[in-house]
Amino acid sequence: MTSTSLKQRVLAAERLFGTMILEFFVPGLPQLCKAAGADFLFLDMEHTGVDMETLKYQIAACRGIGLAPIVRVPATEYHFIARVLDLGAHGVMVPIVETREQAEFIVSCTRYPPRGRRGAAFGVAHDDYKAGTPAEKIAAAHERTLVITQIETPKGVENCEAIASIPEVDVLWVGHFDLTNFMGIPGQFENPAYLAAIARVVAAARAQRKGTGFMALDERWGREYIAHGFQMIAYGMDSNLFQRALAQGIANLRNA
């Protein structure tokens, strides 16, 4: 485990950057992202068919290079949250979090008793197969594990202050496409109602000294949402970045 975890950096209000992986779960990907300057890597289960074995290889490839692997699980279920943490993920992102009670359950899946219900497995991937007492390992896991709740519905916005008030919730992450969809204004990112919603989420996080996150599909969006107060930015997703770079290169060559 690194001396300064991603969780510590988030809660210190450091500005952090990474990307979202949905397609290219290949051996060299973590090192490529680290060499590009990424602080974290989101490995997505919600919108992909990736399995636990593939995730384990990706997480292992992040070990020791200063890149924090975070898994977006597909649902608020113990068997997803606890398993990816046991594989060595430094944290979880959970979609469509709408209530304090739901957020409290998510947190309970990431914490060992008496703070939660996470089952014990030590000397495995999450503690780097190292020796140590259970108490030491539990403390280290609690210190590192980052909990990201995605605010993606009007109900989630309505309850964002209560969600942010839970001590072990670390980041409120706006899922902008889903939020506009559930608001009945799909893709209307300049709509005053949407802008008011993201301002409320940012304010709720700041009031509790929590992190804020957003996935920016391009640099313009990234700058815009940093200006809105978001500190943790996932710059695009792998397929989009590759396709855009390839299309630009081909177009430049065709016009040469």
Q: Please pick, among 47, 90, 142, 228, the residue that the annotation labels catalytic.
A: 47
Instruction: Report residue 244: phi and psi, to 5°.
Output: -65, -45
Strand partners, 19: 41
- Decide if 79 is catalytic: no
Q: Return d(Cα 84, Cα 219) in angstroms, integer.
A: 30
Residue 100 burial (CB count, 10 A): 17
Q: Return d(Cα 213, Cα 148) in angstroms, integer.
A: 9
H or E segment and range at residue 148? strand 146-151
Q: How many residues does the chain have?
A: 256
Give Cα separations from 119 to 50, 71, 152, 160 (angstroms).
23, 18, 29, 28
Active site residue ranges? 47
